[in-house]
Structure 1
Amino acid sequence: MDTRSQGPIRSVVIVGGGTAGWMAAAALVQHFRGTPLKITVVESSEIGTIGVGEATIPTIRRFYGQLGLSDAEVMQATQATCKLGIRFLDWSGPGSDFIHPFGHYGQDVRGIGFHNFWMRAREAGDGVALSDFSLGAELARQGKFTHPSPNPPSTLSVFDWALHLDASLFAQYLRKYAEAGGCERVDAKVQEVRLRPDDGFVRALALEDGREIEGDLFVDCTGFRGLVIGQALGSGFQDWGHWLPCDAAFAMQSENEPGDDPQPFTRVTARSAGWQWGIPLRHRAGNGVVYSTAHQSDDAAAAELTANVVGKPLMEPRRIPFRPGRRDKVWVKNCVALGLSAGFLEPLESTSIALIETGIERLRSLFPDRSFAQPAIDEFNDQSAREMERVRDFIILHYKLNRRDDTAFWRDCRAMAVPDTLQRKIDLWKARGQFVRYRWEMFHPASWLAIYAGFEEMPDVIDPGVAAFDIGQLRDALGQMRTSVARAVAEAPSHSDFLASLDCAPTQPRT
C-alpha cells in the first residue's frame, strides 16, 4: 500500500519569498497554529523580487486583520498612507478627471438603482457630478480621511479604504510574523525541482548548496519564472496580450516634495502608449509607467516617465517586461501557484496583492490531504480562472471606453474586440442600466458604475420607475444627499492630520 497518499499534509514548502511567499507563510502559520504542520520558505537573498504592488484594495485590511494585526501597526511598519480610491487623469483627453472610490453612490429607492435618479436629473439640466454623492470619492478629492462608521446610518455613509504601502517592508514584516510563529526560512537557490518518477508529483527541491528540501505540498511563489508550476510541471500560459497590449513597465522611486502632503488616492495618468502611476508613501513616492512596446520604444517610455515624476528621483527607471495572462492551471498535482507564478494583470486597479489574498483564501478552504483529491483541485482551478478573467474584463473596460484620439495606442484600444464576457456586461448596461453579477468577482456594481460614468458611457434608458417621482421632489432629495456628503467631508480631518495621529511608537509583529 502506498502510504504517501494517506493522512494529513505534514509539510508545506513555499518556493520563493517576496510579497506572495511571505503572505502565504504568515496566513498558513496563523491558520494552522497548534497543529504539527511544518511550513518552510525557500528563498535566495541573491535573487531580487518584483515587489508586487504598492497600492492595494480594501481586502488587504481584512487579510492582515485575520492575522491579528491592526491598521496602525501595519501602517507604521510599511510607511503606509491611506487609499480611498484611484484617480484617473486624462483618460478621456487632457483635463479629464474622475475617481473610482471604494464605496457607494447615493441611495437606491424602491429597488431602483441610484444612478437612474442621477441620470434623470442630468436629463433635466442638472450638471451635478456623480462623485458628489460618494463620501469616499469626495474625501479623496479634498485630501481628507476619517474612519468609516461602524454602523452607517445610510448608504451615503458607506465607504472603505485600503493602503499605499512599501511592498518590501510589508514582506519583511510578514516574514517576522511567520518566523515568530514557527516558519523556517532557508536562504538558498533552487538548482532543480525533483519529481517522483511514478506519478510526477514534486518530491523535493535540490538546492545549490547540496541540500534537498522535501515536502508534501509546494506553493510556487517564484514570480514570472513559475519555477515549479511552469518549468517543472508544465502548466501552460494563456496570453491575453491581444486584449491588454501593455507588456512592459518602468518603475522608479522619488523623494516626497517638502510640504507636499500625501494624497489619499492612487494617481493613474494616461500617457502616449499606456499610463503612469503615482503612489504616495510617507517616506517616498512610488512611480512607474505601463506601456505597449508595439506602440512606444523603451527609451521613449522611460523619458516620458522621468519627465513627469514629481520629486527628486531616488533611482534610475527599472524596466519590468511582462506578459498579461494566466496559467492554464494554477494547481497541478501537489503544487499551487500564487502571485505572479499564477498569472499577471497590469496594476491599473491594484489587484496584484488582492489576487494573492484570494488564492490564499482558496488554499485554506480547499486545503488537501495527501490524497490530493481531484475535485478540490478542479474547484480551485475553476474559481481562480473565473476570478482572474473577471478582473481582466474590468481592466480591459478602461481601455475600451477611453476617449483619447491623440495616438495610435488609444485608437487601437478603443477599436479592439473585447471578450464575450465583457461585451455581455457592456451590452446589458447600455440596454437597461443593469449590472451582470457573478460569484468570485472582485469588483462590484459601484465600481463598474464609477468607470462607466467616468467615461460618460451611460445607458440608453432610465428605469421607468423613476417616472413616479416629480422632478422637483427628485432635485430636493438629491440636494439633501449632496448636503449630507458635503457636511461629513467638511467635518473630517485632513489625511496628513490622520497620519500624524498614528502612534509613532515602534511595534512588533504579534503571533
Structure 2
Amino acid sequence: MTGAEPYRIVILGGGTAGWMSAAALAGLLPAADYDITLIESDEIGTVGVGEATLPHIKTFNDMLGIDEAEFMRETAGTIKLGIEFVDWLREGARYIHPFGTFGDRWGGVDFQHHWAQARLDASDDRSLQAYSFAVAACHANGFEHPNTDPGSIRSTYSYAYHFDAGLYARYLRGWATARGVRRLEGKVTGVVRDSESGAVSALTLEAGAQVAGDLFVDCSGFRSLLVGQTMQVPWIDWSEWLPCDRALAVPCLGVEPITPYTRSTARRGGWQWRIPLQHRIGNGYVFSSRFCGEEEARNTLLANLDGEALDEPRLLRFAAGRRAQGWAGNCVAIGLASGFLEPLESTSIFLIQAAAIDLVALMPRRGEGIDARAVREFNRLFGIHYDRTRDFLVLHYTANERVGEPLWDHVRTMVLPDSLAHRLALFRESAAAPEYSLGLFSRDSWLSVLEGQGVLPSAANPLAHRMPAAERQARLDDLAARIVLNAAEMTPHGEFLTGYCASKATARPGAASAA
C-alpha cells in the first residue's frame, strides 16, 4: 500500500535461529517495505545448535547469495557428505546415510526394486551402500563439487557442512546487520499485549525502553517466551518415542584425516556424535536419564574422544516434542522456541530454515494485517516438517538388535506412530518407499536407514520382473564399478579445504555445541 509505514518485524533472541531468521527476512523481503529489529543479550547464552547440517543449508546460503568459500573460511567449515552410523543395528555393524541417490529409475521402476529383486533371486548380495557414490566418497575421504553433467556418476550426490555454530551466528549477524537489520542489546523483561485482540504490541527491555512491532519472531530458545508462555500454545510431548532427554557436549583437538561425514555411535544409554571441523572436533553424548546417569555418560564421552578434550563437558537438558502451532496471533516461533528433536540427523538448522522460508513466503505485506489463511498454511507446513522428521528419527531406534540393553529394548518394543508403522510395513512387504513432496528426508535417505537397520523387503514391484535377470545384474555390476572407480579419483577432503577455504580459527576451550 503506497504511503503505509514499513511493516515492523521484531525478532526476540539471537543465536543460530535468530540470525538465520534475520538473514532470511532481510535478504529475501523488499527492504523498503519491512523494518527488522533483533533483540539479544550477550549475557544470555545460547544452546549453539547446528554444528552439522543437511544439504538444504547450501540452498539457503545460495538464496541469500552468500559466498561459499568465505562462509566456510569464517566458520571453520568442512564438507559433509552423509552420516555414519556405528553399532546402531548391533555392535560391529555400520552404515552411512549418504546425501545422494541409490542408482536411478530403470524401466520406470525405482532402483530399490531392482536391487531387492536381485537379492530375492540370490543373484546379488551387495548392500545398497555399494550403489551410492556419496557413500564411496565418504569411504575415500574425498570431495569435489558435484559435476553439472546429469549423466555423470559424479552428479548423483549433494553435500552439507560442518561448522562452528557460534562462528556461523556471528557471520550471519554481520551479514544481516549490513543489510539493514537493527540489533538491540538488552534483556526482555516484559511483554505488552493489546487489551482487545491479545496480540503482542511491544517488548519491554530491562532498561525500560519498549520495542513495538507488528509481528514478533520468537527465537527465545527453550523458554519460548512469546509463543509458549505469552500465547499459551500447548506443547506436544514425544518423549514416549524419543526418550533421550540429556546431552553432554565437549570439543576436542582435531586429528587427520578430516572426514567428510558426521559419525553417530550407539552407546548403552544413547549415542555419541563426532563432528570434524577445520580447527577441532565437536563431540557429544545424547542419552536418556531413565537409562543412564550423568556421570556414566560423562565417563563414556571422555573415554571415546579422538584427541585431548578442550573443556569440561557441558550438560543440556531437553524434551522431544513441538508446539501445537508455530504461529499464534502475531507471534511466530522458530528454533527451540517451536520444538526440539535430538540432533541424530542434524535437523535443527533445517527446521529453522524451513520456518524462516515459509514465513517469508507468507509474510503480511506492507500496510496489511495478518491473514488467517496464511497462519493456517504456516502451521500446516510446520506440522509436516516436525512430524515426518520425528518418524525418521524414531526409525533409527525401533529397528535395532541390541538385545539386553534397557534403552534399546524399550525403543525396539514400543508402539510406533501410525505413520511410521505404515511406512515400515509397506517397505517390508513390497520394497515401496513413497517420496513425499513435503517433509525433510527423501526416499533415498529412508532407504539407507531402513537397510542399515536391518529392515529388508520380502518382495519387489512386479514391474521389476520385466527386466531380464542377466540385464539387471549387468547394470548393477556396471554401476558399482563406476562408483568405485570415480570415488578413487576424487580430491582428498583435506586437500580441498586447504585450497578452497582454509580457516584461521584455532582450537579453543568453550566451543562445544549440539550437533
Q: Shift in Å at residue 121 of structure 1?
A: 2.9
In the TM superposition, what is the alpha-carbon distance from 1:77 to its structure 2 partner?
0.8
Q: Give the deviation of 1:156 after TM superposition.
A: 7.0
Residue in structure 1 matched with residue 454 of structure 2 by the alignment:
456
Report the Cα distance in structure 2 between the residues aligned to 1:358 and 1:505, rounded to whole angstroms. Answer: 28
Distance change >3 Å, CA 142–CA 409, structure 1 → 2: same
TM-aligned CA deviation for residue 439 of structure 1: 3.5
Query: CA shift at 1:423, angstroms?
Result: 1.0
Letter in 1 for 2:386: M
Partner residue of 2:267? 271
Q: Tell me which residue corresponds to 1:17.
A: 14
Task: Answer yes or no: is the 8 Å Cα contact 2:262–2:274 preserved in 1.
Answer: yes
Gap change, CA 1:45 and 1:327, over 3 Å in 2: same
**Cα distance, 1:505–1:160 mapped onto 2, change above 3 Å:** closer
What's the % identity of the aligned pairs? 40
Equivalent residue for 1:418?
A: 416
Q: Which moved more, 1:435-444 or 1:60-69?
A: 435-444
**Cα 1:461/1:36, change in 2 over 3 Å:** closer
- For residue 33 of structure 1, report the CA deviation from its aligned partner: 4.3
**Which of these residues, 245, 249, 252, is aligned with residue 251 of structure 1?**
249
Distance in 1, matches of 2:95 and 2:152, equals 24
SS at structure 2 position matched to 1:191: strand
Structure 2 unaligned spans of 5+: 505-515
User: Compared with structure 1, are the counterparts of its residues 493 and 183 closer, same or farther at alpha carbon in structure 2 (3 Å cutoff)?
Assistant: same
Letter in 2 for 1:421: S
**Alpha-carbon displacement from aligned partner over 1:293-328 (angstroms, at most 9, x marks no partner):** 111111111111111111111111111000100001
1:289 to 253, 266, 285: 285
- Structure 1 segment 35-74 matched on structure 2, within 5 A: 35-74=32-71
SS in structure 2 opposite 1:293?
coil
**What does residue 321 of structure 1 align with?**
317
Match of 1:113 in 2: 110
The answer as to whether partners of 2:100 and 2:134 remain within 8 angstroms in 1 is yes
Q: Contact 1:9–1:216 (CA<8 Å) still a contact in 2?
A: no
Partner of 1:31: 28
Q: Equivalences for 1:427-506 in 2 at 5 Å?
A: 427-504=425-502
Contact kept, 8 Å, 1:325 with 1:345, in 2: the verdict is yes
Deviation of 1:8 after TM superposition, in Å, equals 7.0
Measured in 1, the distance between the counterparts of 2:89 and 2:123 equals 22
Structure 2 match to 1:100: 97
2:116–2:459 contact (8 Å) kept in structure 1:
no
Which residue, 82, 87, 94 being the options, matches 1:85?
A: 82
Higher RCO (CA-CA < 8 Å; seq separation 6+): 2
Alignment correspondent of 1:304: 300
- Aligned 8 A contact 1:107 1:155 in 2: no
- TM-score by length of structure 1 reads 0.95
Change in Cα spacing, 1:27 to 1:129, as seen in structure 2 (3 Å) is: same
Q: Distance in 2 between matches of 1:121 and 1:162?
A: 32
Q: What is the aligned length?
A: 500
The alignment's TM-score, normalised by the length of structure 2, stands at 0.94
Contact 1:9 1:217 in 2 (8 A): no
Correspondence 1:333 to 2:329:
yes
Deviation at 1:38? Answer: 1.1
Cα gap change, 1:503 to 1:331, in 2 (>3 Å): closer
Residues 36 and 108 from structure 1, CA distance in 2 versus in 1: closer, same or farther, beyond 3 angstroms?
closer
Q: Which amino acid aligns with 2:324?
A: D
Q: Tell me the amino acid that sits aligned with residue 275 of structure 2.
A: I
Displacement of 1:450 in angstroms is 0.4
In structure 1, C-alpha distance between the alignment counterparts of 2:293 and 2:270, rounded to whole Å: 12
Task: Give the distance between the partners of 2:160 and 2:46, measured in 1 at CA.
Answer: 23
Task: Say which SS state the counterpart of residue 32 (structure 2) adopts.
Answer: coil
Give the drift of 1:427. Answer: 1.4
Partner of 2:208: 210
Q: Secondary structure at the match of 1:153?
A: coil
SS at match of 2:363: coil
- Counterpart check, 1:342 vs 2:338: yes
8 A contact 1:206–1:213 mirrored in 2: yes
- For the 8 Å contact 2:100–2:158, the answer to whether it is kept is yes
Within 5 Å, give how 1:192-207 maps onto structure 2.
Answer: 192-207=190-205
Cα shift at 1:147: 1.0
Moved more, 149-158 or 133-142: 149-158
Contact 2:250 2:313 (C-alpha < 8 Å) held by counterparts = yes
Provide the rounded CA distance (Å) in 2 between the counterparts of 1:154 and 1:462. 27
Matched-pair contact (CA < 8 Å) for 2:153–2:482? no
**Kept after mapping to 2: 8 A contact 1:107/1:156:** no
Residue 467 of structure 1 and its aligned partner are, at CA, apart by 2.8
Please point out which of 189, 192, 211 is paired with 1:191. 189
Change (3 A) 1:438 1:465: closer
- Opposite residue 500 of structure 1, the aligned amino acid is T
Aligned in 2, Cα 1:235/1:42: closer, same or farther, shift over 3 Å? same
Kindly state the Cα deviation for residue 471 of structure 1 after the two structures are TM-superposed. Answer: 3.1
Cα distance, 1:340 vs. partner? 0.4
Q: Alignment partner for residue 181 of structure 1, among 179, 182, 189?
A: 179
* Aligned counterpart, 2:399: 401
- Per the TM alignment, residue 401 of structure 1 is displaced from its structure 2 partner at its CA by 0.8
Question: In the alignment, what sits opposite 2:507?
Answer: none
Partner in structure 2 of residue 380 of structure 1? 378
Instruction: Give the structure 2 partner of residue 3 of structure 1.
Output: none
What is the DSSP-based 3-state SS (H/G/I as helix, E as strand, rest coil) of the residue aligned with 1:149? coil
Partner SS for 1:75: helix
After TM superposition, give the deviation of residue 94 of structure 1 in Å.
1.5
1:224 and 2:222 correspond: yes
Provide the residue aligned with 2:508 in structure 1.
none
The amino acid of 2:70's aligned partner reads E
- Which residue does 2:512 correspond to in 1? none
Structure 2 distance, partners of 1:245, 1:175, is 34
SS at match of 1:203: strand
